[in-house]
Structure 1
Amino acid sequence: MTIAYACILIMGLLPYVATGIAKKGFEGYDNSMPRQWLAKQDGYRARANAAQANLFESLPLFFATVIIAQIANAPQFRIDILAVGFVIARIAYLVCYVANWPTTRSIVWLAGMVCTVSIFFQI
């Protein structure tokens, strides 16, 4: 398994970390209606839920770029470095979202996007 493929696995699981943060403590949590319960949350729970949605949204482009670059035999070291950069940026994004640091969150979002787009330029 390449480092980039390991990053795909990590990114596939990261949204569930955000979900865990949103549901931490389960105060009044109703498992029969989890989306309605989450919709009523505020503060860090609401931000973690929003981060979870955004993390899921970022997956298709990242997954595609890594797989396409590998199929095209782009330099593996570069793919790996950029994939790790993306994972670090997305972890930082989650931290910034939960901590309510919107400007820093936008900066790390952009850094992650730059990593993903840069993978295409390795082909």
Structure 2
Amino acid sequence: MTVAFWCVLIAILLPFVCTGIAKFSGGQFGARQNHDPRAFLANLDGFAKRAHSAQMNSFEAFPAFAAAVIIADICHNAQQVTMDVLAVLFITSRLLYIICYLADWAMLRSLVWFVGLGLVVSLFCVSV
């Protein structure tokens, strides 16, 4: 399996890291809240709410990244090392994005988000 494909797996798991942070950062999550976790997460505030928002954005960013990696792989026009580097950079941008979200660095978070989008576009462009 290629590094780029491993990055797809990491991208699948990143939202769940954010979920754990959102649920357990405030010490409020328990068996009772697990009956309706979406309602619990919707009512969070502060750090935990930002973690939940990072989770939601991670789920939103995943399909484009996965599609870009798969398309780049099946087109056979890009060198594997190029795809791997772009995929690792995307995961790095997502980790930075999550850190910026949790730290409430809104402007830097937006910049990092655009970098991630550019990396997804780059994966498509190397497929041509």
Give the TM-score normalised by structure 1. 0.96
Unaligned residue ranges in structure 2 (runs of 5+): none
Q: Indicate the SS of the match to 1:55.
A: helix
Q: Indicate the SS of the match to 1:27.
A: coil
User: Runs of 4 or more off by more than 3 Å in structure 1?
Assistant: none
**1:55 matched residue in structure 2:** 58
Summarize the Cα distance change of 1:75–1:35 in structure 2 as closer, same or farther, 3 Å threshold. same
Task: State yes or no: 1:22 paired with 2:26.
Answer: no
- What is the letter of the counterpart of residue 7 of structure 1? C
TM-align CA RMSD: 1.0
**1:12 matched residue in structure 2:** 12
Task: State yes or no: 1:117 paired with 2:118.
Answer: no
Unaligned residue ranges in structure 1 (runs of 5+): none
Q: Indicate the SS of the match to 1:23.
A: helix
**2:47 matched residue in structure 1:** 44
- What is the letter of the counterpart of residue 41 of structure 1? L
CA contact (8 A) 2:100 2:108 kept: yes
Task: State yes or no: 1:105 paired with 2:109.
Answer: yes
Equivalent residue in structure 2 for 1:35, among 34, 38, 46: 38
Deviations 1:33-55 (A, max 9, x none): 11111111100100100110000
- What is the letter of the counterpart of residue 96 of structure 1? C
